[in-house]
């Protein structure tokens, strides 16, 4: 049975990361997700949602690092 429209919306919202989320907080959340997934206590659906959230957090962290690297290049110039 396909997921209801509201379930799909909440799943996609969980994968989105607030752009104002601090790098350190994103890393902590990502580490916790990894530990929880490795513990094997999630259902299949929860694991998928956790993976999606983790991927979004990773992308956010990479973006923050890229911005910092650009700022360092500007300062060095």
The per-residue pLDDT for 9 is 47
54 in Cβ contact with 33 (< 8 Å): yes
Whether pTM > 0.85 for this model: the answer is no
Residue 4 clears pLDDT 60, i.e. is over it:
no
Q: What are phi and psi of 19, to 5 degrees?
A: -60, -25
* Tokens (6 digits) for 48: 């998928």
Residue 49: pLDDT above 80? yes
Least confident among 2-6, 10-14, 15-19, 27-31 = 2-6
Question: Which pLDDT score, from 0 to 100, does residue 20 have?
Answer: 95
pLDDT of residue 7: 46
Architecture of domain 20-76: Orthogonal Bundle (1.10)
């Amino acid at each position: 049975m396909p997921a209801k429209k509201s379930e799909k919306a909440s799943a996609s919202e969980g994968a989105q990361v607030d752009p104002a989320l601090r790098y350190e907080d994103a890393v902590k959340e990502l580490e916790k997700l990894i530990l929880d997934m490795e513990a094997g206590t999630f259902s299949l659906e929860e694991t998928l949602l956790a993976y999606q959230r983790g991927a979004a957090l990773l992308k956010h962290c990479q973006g923050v690092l890229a911005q910092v690297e650009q700022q360092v290049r500007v300062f060095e110039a």
